[in-house]
Amino acid sequence: MSEMNSVVKATLEEFCDSSVWLVQQFSSNLENTFSSVENRLDGLQPMAEKYERLFRTSPIIIDEELCLKLENNSTSLWNQITMIEKSKNNKENQKILFRCKVYATILLSIYESLSPTVVNKLMVLKCYITVLKGLEGEFYDQQILRNIQEQCDKLLIVTQDEINDNKIKNHLETEQKEKDFNNLRIEYLIINFQLALAENDYELASIYFSKVDINENTSSMNPKVLLELCRLIYNAILQQYQNFNEEIPNIDILNSMCHYLRNTSELFTLNKNMLKTEVNYSSMHFSIFTLHAELLMLQPSTDINWEFINSIIEQLQTEYPKKIESHLLSYKVRNKTMHPENLNEELKELIMKMIINIDIKENFEAITNCISDFAQKSITLANVCLDYIFGNKLDPQRDQTIFEKLICIRVYLTTQSSQLNTSEMISSLKDYCTKIEHTIVHEVGLTTVSTIITLFWNTGKTLQKRDQFLESNEFYNLALMNIFCQNYADRSKIQRALIQNFIQLDDMGRAKEIYQTMDYANKKLPLSQLLLLKILYKENDIKGCEECFSQLKINEGDSSVECLILGVEECKDNIELSLKAMQMLFEKLEEAHFAKDDKGKVSFPIFSLTRYIIQLITKVTEKNGNESFLLYYSVITNLLSKSLEYFKVLQDRTVVARKLNANVTTEIISIDEIEWFSSTCYNIASKCFRENIQVDIDRIVTLAIEYFSLIPIEDVDFSIKCHFKYWYFRTKLLALAVSSSKLSGDTNDQKRLMIEKKVENLNNEIIELINSKDMKDKGNDDEKTKINSCLIELLRLTFEDIMSTKNKEKILAFIKKSYNQNEKQIEILFFSMTVNNPNLSQSIAVYIMEMLIDRNTSSNLLGVEVLLRWLKIYMNFILDLDMTCKFLLVEQLSKQLQQENIPKLIEKQEVRDDLEIISTLCWNQGINLIMEEDKVNANVYCKQALYFAELANPKLCEQLKQMWNALEESK
């Protein structure tokens, strides 16, 4: 037993020491000791709870000195925590302090178990109740709550029994203890009621509240305790009310809370004289009654006792006439109960009553919010209330801040009202602004000025967008009143809006008048000059317009470039003026922005304007012929050249920005836009080349190629890439055609060598695309045909150029090099160009035809029909020259015919005609050879003639046989 006592004693000593240590920690920087304090509490608190339970089930005797030490140290810890809680606001601090408070309470409970007196029990009960109050919010812990409730429930029973026992022995001494006990018990029940509400356990909350039995148990309470109980009940219900979030609460829950508040309200009635002496009586009384009325109004309309609510409000207004809440409640009640025909007037009277009785300055926001709500029903009557405050309740100078707020509210509600038509709104605001001018003698605050002007400006802009220009001007004029706009920095913005409206109204005189009222600096602003330009252009003052453009060109304002472009847009139908303006625009870009970083940040329709002007010029030139075209050619090329430079700047900025992972703020470069400019250059160059117009075609076709180089064709779908590649190749081909047309026949010409290099490069580009995997996998037949046509056109141009040199070796070498077994169009092209070129020597033409026929009779590329036609043309050509055909070609074609489906082939008339002509030509060739006494070869040709004739025309064959027999007999 002694051994056990020594262990208990040592443990109690440890508890005492821990209390001292914790107090010491609180005197230092608590943030630095969080970990050590938590670790110590983690170890000691479970042990303290264990010993507390042990001492209550197994009484043990401890010397008085140790008990007193435990009491003193635990009390010191409790007091230290209470003192620190008032000054420490850090959440982590509060959390540690709360844990320490729980620990101190357990130690005091241990002391009470060792020294079980009523006083000690009341002390521990009070500590537990204090801890319960702290369990709200983030400190809520279900386990701690259950432990404390368990301890308190036991203590309440034990204490009640002990008090009852003591009554018999010493009634007078016990009476005060019984009062204290009763106060703590009721407070304990109320706190549990509060916690149950917080957990939405309304059934449990109702049980606790019924146990309180307020009317029965509060008569003997002292006023402070009673008021504290009322405060706890009020806070619990207020928290629930605030959690409704405009949702209709459960009716049973709502009725329960109304019941709680009604019972609490009755306390004030039953104990009024006693409670009135307390400092917080008025505020608590007013708050509970007000909340009660608010909750009653949330009930279903069929259940609401409006008479009872009105009685509460009347009582509040009688006892607290200067408090605004009761007036606001009265407004709410009338809003819900009055008949519609009388509602607005009744509400106005209530608001006026509130304005007259309540301190406006202290309750300004609440009053104006109420009037703003009323304005949704009647803006006219709401303005009457606001105007009464304006004229009677505030001093413009002494109450300047809220006086000006009142003005802003009045203007806001009027401009935003849907009840007034535009005329009524203007009339109301004009009268009100006149009152303001007559009332205010000091300078209006900048915030007020900015707010009012913004409201007038926004309303004016809204009307302007609806094309209500006259009404819009009324609001702009209100904004320009001296009382508001005398020192307003953006006065010119409003003036420009007025000018714009008068331009829309086609009233150039009034527009000019407003412009003249602007000061010199604002007149020169880009936006002001743009408006002046519009006025002058409508008045057909071209010289004045040119001066405006010149002013915009030299202006260095941020919007000068954009205004210059908008000016071009304005007068784009006048070609001469718009061209001069565009020239100024490009000069401005070059001089002021072209090389600077800020240039690329300006976004405007420069390309669409350039496009429009070029289209305009094109229409004029199409109508007036090439003379007009030549007149504007340099202007067009200059516009296209300047646009190209601007495109390049934008593209460079975009690339740099992307490399730096920066925000790309440049104008978005449209591929369609680039394509339009490139195709325009191509079409102009093609027209000049086709019609032999004497201009620098090289420049315009070069521009077309440079435009195409800006298109990121690697970043687009293959079909789009193929489209752009096709036109890129076409443009390159046109450039080659232009260059080739300027060359002489000298094969050593340096320029020719350069062209040949370009031809080689382009040829490689085209073949690379034709043979690419994408073309094979993704290209359709149409795309393949279009790209192949570019290759054929390139070969045509090259062949034409080489033929002009009349160099046999070079021509034949080119034909040999260009042979492609998969492209019959090339072979057909070469043959056609050879036959139809009058400048080509006959001998070279013969060589070319023989080469083409020879290499194609040994392949299946062209088909026998084409070869028959070629052989016919070749033999005609030879015989006309009195030359001998190359029999090998005839023999090869004859063999190829024998492999064909002859019956099907000769069904075609064209084939039969060709065979008949070839037969005749072979016969004639044979006759010629006979005359030359070359009977061997003559015999070969005549037999071949019979073979062709037999296929084409049996009658012809019969004639030839007869002639052949006659020749044989003549030998």
In a domain, 333, yes or no: yes
**pLDDT value of residue 501:** 95
**pLDDT value of residue 466:** 94
Over residues 100-111, the mean pLDDT reads 88
Segment 448-496, tens digit of pLDDT: 999 999 999 999 999 999 999 999 999 999 999 999 988 888 899 999 9
> Within this chain, do residues 964 and 865 fall inside the same structural domain, yes or no?
yes
Q: Which residue has the higher pLDDT, 205 or 812?
A: 812
Question: What phi and psi, each to the nearest 5 degrees, are found at residue 897?
Answer: -65, -40
State the Cα–Cα distance between residues 905 and 951, nearest whole angstrom.
Answer: 10
State the Cα–Cα distance between residues 670 and 668, nearest whole angstrom.
Answer: 6
> Within this chain, do residues 583 and 636 fall inside the same structural domain, yes or no?
no
Smallest CA-to-CA distance from 283 within 353, 243, 242, 231 is with: 231
The single residue listed with the structure tokens 């015999």 is 939
Judge contact between 670 and 645, C-beta under 8 A.
no
Segment 316-345, tens digit of pLDDT: 888 888 899 989 988 988 888 766 677 899
> Within this chain, do residues 858 and 962 fall inside the same structural domain, yes or no?
yes
**pLDDT value of residue 657:** 38
Which helix (DSSP H) or strand (DSSP E) does residue 159 occupy?
helix 142-169
State the Cα–Cα distance between residues 687 and 615, nearest whole angstrom.
Answer: 15
* 563, 569, 595, 650 from 604: Cα distances, Å: 10, 11, 17, 12
**Does the pLDDT of residue 882 top 90, yes or no?**
no
State the Cα–Cα distance between residues 173 and 169, nearest whole angstrom.
Answer: 9
In a domain, 800, yes or no: yes
> Within this chain, do residues 745 and 681 fall inside the same structural domain, yes or no?
no
Judge contact between 240 and 257, C-beta under 8 A.
yes
> Within this chain, do residues 727 and 705 fall inside the same structural domain, yes or no?
no
Which of 679, 712, 745 marks a domain boundary? 712
Share of the chain above pLDDT 90, in %: 22
Judge contact between 678 and 727, C-beta under 8 A.
yes
State the Cα–Cα distance between residues 865 and 712, nearest whole angstrom.
Answer: 45
In a domain, 889, yes or no: yes
Eight-state DSSP code of residue 599: G
> Of the spans 144-148, 308-312, 588-592, which averages the highest pLDDT?
308-312
Which CATH number does the domain housing residue 549 bear? 1.25.40
Over residues 723-734, the mean pLDDT reads 90
Q: For the chain, how many structural domains are there in total?
A: 5
Smallest CA-to-CA distance from 232 within 260, 256, 251 is with: 260
The single residue listed with the structure tokens 């350069």 is 754
**Does the pLDDT of residue 605 top 90, yes or no?**
no
Tokens describing residue 715: 């970043």
Judge contact between 700 and 685, C-beta under 8 A.
yes
Judge contact between 309 and 331, C-beta under 8 A.
no
The distance in angstroms from the start CA to the end CA of the chain is: 165
If DSSP states are collapsed to H, E and C, what string results for 738-801?
HHHHCCCCCCCCHHHHHHHHHHHHHHHHHHHHHCCHHHHHHCCHHHHHHHHHHHHHHHHHHHHH
* 7, 604, 923, 959 from 949: Cα distances, Å: 139, 76, 10, 10
Smallest CA-to-CA distance from 212 within 199, 200, 230 is with: 230
**Which of the four pLDDT bands, split at 50, 70 and 90, describes residue 600?**
very low
**pLDDT value of residue 61:** 78
State the Cα–Cα distance between residues 118 and 66, nearest whole angstrom.
Answer: 20
**Does the pLDDT of residue 666 top 50, yes or no?**
no
> Within this chain, do residues 965 and 864 fall inside the same structural domain, yes or no?
yes
**Which of the four pLDDT bands, split at 50, 70 and 90, describes residue 958?**
confident
State the Cα–Cα distance between residues 445 and 408, nearest whole angstrom.
Answer: 11
Which helix (DSSP H) or strand (DSSP E) does residue 670 occupy?
none
**Amino acid letter at 923?**
W
Beta-carbon count within 10 A of 900 CB: 14
**pLDDT value of residue 479:** 94
How many helices (H) and strands (E) the chain has is answered by 47, 0
**Which of the four pLDDT bands, split at 50, 70 and 90, describes residue 555?**
confident
In a domain, 520, yes or no: yes
State the Cα–Cα distance between residues 387 and 379, nearest whole angstrom.
Answer: 12
> What 3-state class would DSSP assign to 153?
helix
In a domain, 176, yes or no: no
* 82, 192, 233, 636 from 187: Cα distances, Å: 19, 9, 10, 95
State the Cα–Cα distance between residues 680 and 611, nearest whole angstrom.
Answer: 9
* 473, 584, 913 from 492: Cα distances, Å: 14, 26, 89
> Within this chain, do residues 668 and 767 fall inside the same structural domain, yes or no?
no
**pLDDT value of residue 835:** 85
Segment 213-265, tens digit of pLDDT: 766 665 666 777 778 778 878 888 888 888 776 566 678 778 888 887 887 78
How far from the centroid of its chain's Cα atoms is residue 30's Cα? 48
* 145, 329, 630, 685, 760 from 636: Cα distances, Å: 89, 77, 10, 12, 32
Q: CB under 8 Å to 934, separation ≥6 — which residues? A: none
Smallest CA-to-CA distance from 706 within 725, 681, 686 is with: 681
Q: CB under 8 Å to 356, separation ≥6 — which residues? A: none
Percentages of the chain per state (helix, strand, coil), in multiples of 5: 80, 0, 20
**Does the pLDDT of residue 599 top 60, yes or no?**
no
**Does the pLDDT of residue 663 top 50, yes or no?**
no
Q: Which residue has the higher pLDDT, 496 or 691?
A: 496
Q: Which residue has the higher pLDDT, 653 or 696?
A: 696
Q: CB under 8 Å to 528, separation ≥6 — which residues? A: 492, 496, 515, 518, 522
Half-sphere exposure of 516 (CA within 13 A, CB side): 6
Which of 532, 561, 590 marks a domain boundary? 590
**Which of the four pLDDT bands, split at 50, 70 and 90, describes residue 664?**
very low
**pLDDT value of residue 593:** 47
**Amino acid letter at 697?**
I
Q: CB under 8 Å to 612, separation ≥6 — which residues? A: 572
State the Cα–Cα distance between residues 101 and 11, nearest whole angstrom.
Answer: 19
Over residues 721-736, the mean pLDDT reads 90
Q: Which residue has the higher pLDDT, 958 or 327?
A: 327
Tokens describing residue 607: 């390309």
State the Cα–Cα distance between residues 499 and 535, nearest whole angstrom.
Answer: 9
**pLDDT value of residue 91:** 62
Over residues 942-952, the mean pLDDT reads 83
> Within this chain, do residues 962 and 849 fall inside the same structural domain, yes or no?
yes
Smallest CA-to-CA distance from 436 within 415, 408, 459 is with: 408
Which of 672, 689, 712 marks a domain boundary? 712
**Sign for the pseudo-dihedral over CA of 887, 891, 896, 900:** positive
> What is the rounded average pLDDT for all residues in the chain?
83
**Which of the four pLDDT bands, split at 50, 70 and 90, describes residue 662?**
very low
**Does the pLDDT of residue 509 top 90, yes or no?**
yes
**Does the pLDDT of residue 299 top 50, yes or no?**
yes
**pLDDT value of residue 220:** 60
State the Cα–Cα distance between residues 473 and 502, nearest whole angstrom.
Answer: 9
**pLDDT value of residue 606:** 73
> What 3-state class would DSSP assign to 277?
coil
Enclosing domain of residue 536: 511-590
In a domain, 858, yes or no: yes
> Within this chain, do residues 526 and 631 fall inside the same structural domain, yes or no?
no
State the Cα–Cα distance between residues 649 and 815, nearest whole angstrom.
Answer: 45
State the Cα–Cα distance between residues 215 and 336, nearest whole angstrom.
Answer: 34
Segment 385-430, tens digit of pLDDT: 999 999 999 999 999 999 999 999 999 999 999 999 999 999 999 9
Eight-state DSSP code of residue 426: H
State the Cα–Cα distance between residues 921 and 674, nearest whole angstrom.
Answer: 58
Alpha helices of 555-664 — where are they, by DSSP H? 560-570, 575-588, 606-624, 626-659
**Does the pLDDT of residue 73 top 80, yes or no?**
yes
> Within this chain, do residues 846 and 965 fall inside the same structural domain, yes or no?
yes
State the Cα–Cα distance between residues 306 and 266, nearest whole angstrom.
Answer: 19
> Within this chain, do residues 780 and 662 fall inside the same structural domain, yes or no?
no
State the Cα–Cα distance between residues 333 and 311, nearest whole angstrom.
Answer: 12
**Does the pLDDT of residue 658 top 60, yes or no?**
no
> Within this chain, do residues 913 and 936 fall inside the same structural domain, yes or no?
yes
In a domain, 632, yes or no: yes
State the Cα–Cα distance between residues 530 and 695, nearest whole angstrom.
Answer: 37
Which helix (DSSP H) or strand (DSSP E) does residue 676 occupy?
helix 671-690
Over residues 671-676, the mean pLDDT reads 86
**Amino acid letter at 182?**
N
Compute the C-alpha angle 533/537/540, nearest 5°. 145
In a domain, 635, yes or no: yes
Judge contact between 692 and 670, C-beta under 8 A.
no
